[in-house]
Amino acid sequence: MSMLDIFNADPFTVTRMTEAMREISCAPSRVSQMGLFQVESIDTLDVAIEKADAEALILVPSSPRGAPGDTRGMAKRSLRKLGVPHFQRNDAIYADEVMQARVFGSEVAVETLVNKIATKAAVHSQDFAQTEEYHRLNVIKSGQLLDADGSVLYDYATEFGETLPAEIDFDLDNASPAEGALRKKCASIIRSMATTLGGLPYRTIHAFCGDNFFDDLIAHKEVRETYKGYAEAATLRTAYVSDGSAGAYGVFTFGGITFENYRGGGSISVDTDKCHIFPTGVPQFFKTIYAPADYIETVNRPGQRLYAKQWRMPNDKGVNIEVQMNALHYCTRPRALLRGKRT
């Protein structure tokens, strides 16, 4: 068997290579770890999202017995069709890289090449994991799906005909804040969130915070007075200590909101003076849609998170490798994404 014939062996099919990609651990990503986005696979290239206008509770007036009753118009519904973006990374393995595999026979050669491909795939898998974290974090921060260069792929507030609320000023630089002002601020956020969700159940209200915001919040007089003298005072000492793999510098709860100092870097980060507040546990609130790859083998099959494929170069000097992801991340109620600022 010649050296390059082994690429027609079973380990190098789209199915086997894609399975190998799934076995590689993803790079740490806080949003993924929290399980905020509900994952769904589709067998098409776009997704149709139906949205009903928010319905307020309306009291029914009394009417005489036997007379016509009150009528109420039904909520208008709109349908929005969104294409699933395609993300692709190209690579290659050249004949020189596997030259030594030839002398050991086909079985060992296959094993050697699988290891080489796995090494390359691990790097690409990390990059795709970071890309996914970047997309999801920006959906949380702004209700937008951004490309790697910061350009807007989808603005979901515009797509769904909604308006994001104005930034909330936490006034954390005030040296003499009014008594109970911060707790009242948190209470108003909780009420606003519950009203916006329209009765949908939620588990908690969470906030990703930038460094300065988190520092000033935990140093705030009202926060410190709340914890002092109680067993929970340890929170003030440990809020900056967190398992590094958890993706957070620190976490603590105040006023019914869990504030987390998001641990990011570069474009995957939270502005140092900002926070982004969102509910957790709301059904269908954050969604991730995976579509199939653009290969013959994957037509009309449910999409997977990652795909990998290889094919021989025309001059037989090696094989090309391709890794791709077809993913759409979105929020079904952008108006429930609240933004806060330090001052």
User: What is residue 208's three-state secondary structure?
Assistant: strand
User: In whole angstroms, what is the distance from residue 106 CA to residue 118 CA?
Assistant: 18
Per-residue pLDDT of the chain in tens (343 residues, 90 and over written 9): 344 455 555 555 656 566 655 555 445 479 989 999 999 999 999 998 887 655 444 556 657 877 888 776 666 667 888 999 999 999 988 877 766 554 444 555 555 666 777 778 778 888 999 999 999 999 999 999 999 999 999 999 999 989 999 999 999 999 899 999 999 999 999 999 999 998 889 999 999 999 999 999 999 999 988 877 665 666 665 666 555 446 788 998 999 999 999 998 899 999 999 999 999 999 999 999 999 999 998 998 999 999 988 888 888 788 888 999 999 999 999 999 999 999 9
User: In whole angstroms, what is the distance from residue 28 CA to residue 56 CA?
Assistant: 41
| pLDDT given at position 51 | 75
Pairing of strands 46-52, 307-312: unpaired
φ/ψ of residue 310, rounded to 5? -130, 150
Q: Give, in degrees to the nearest 5, the angle at Cα 151 between 275 and 320.
A: 115
Residues linked to residue 46 through DSSP beta bridges, in sequence order: 83
Helix axes 106-142, 14-23, angle to 10 degrees: 60
Of the candidates 105, 97, 91, 166, the one whose C-alpha atom is nearest the C-alpha of residue 337 is: 166
Of the candidates 278, 268, 272, the one whose C-alpha atom is nearest the C-alpha of residue 138 is: 268
Distance of CA 116 to the CA centre of its chain: 30
Q: Are 81 and 48 in contact (CB under 8 A)?
A: yes
User: What is residue 131's three-state secondary structure?
Assistant: helix
What's this model's pTM, rounded to 2 decimal places? Answer: 0.84
| pLDDT given at position 191 | 96
Of the candidates 134, 108, 145, 190, the one whose C-alpha atom is nearest the C-alpha of residue 334 is: 145
CATH top class, domain 3-51+80-152+286-331? alpha beta
| pLDDT given at position 4 | 45
Q: Are 331 and 340 in contact (CB under 8 A)?
A: no
| pLDDT given at position 96 | 76
User: In whole angstroms, what is the distance from residue 43 CA to residue 326 CA?
Assistant: 11
Pairing of strands 168-169, 338-341: parallel
The label of the residue with tokens 């009202």 reads 222
User: In whole angstroms, what is the distance from residue 306 CA to residue 293 CA?
Assistant: 9
User: In whole angstroms, what is the distance from residue 322 CA to residue 292 CA?
Assistant: 14
Give the other-Cβ count within 10 Å of 78's Cβ.
12
Boundaries of every domain in the chain: 3-51+80-152+286-331, 164-284
The alpha-helical segments, DSSP class H, found in the chain are 14-23, 30-34, 106-142, 156-159, 181-197, 211-218, 221-227, 234-238
Q: Are 37 and 330 in contact (CB under 8 A)?
A: no
Q: Are 279 and 197 in contact (CB under 8 A)?
A: yes
| pLDDT given at position 217 | 96
User: What is residue 121's three-state secondary structure?
Assistant: helix
The CA distances from residue 14 to 19, 95, 125, 180, 233, in Å, are 8, 21, 16, 60, 54
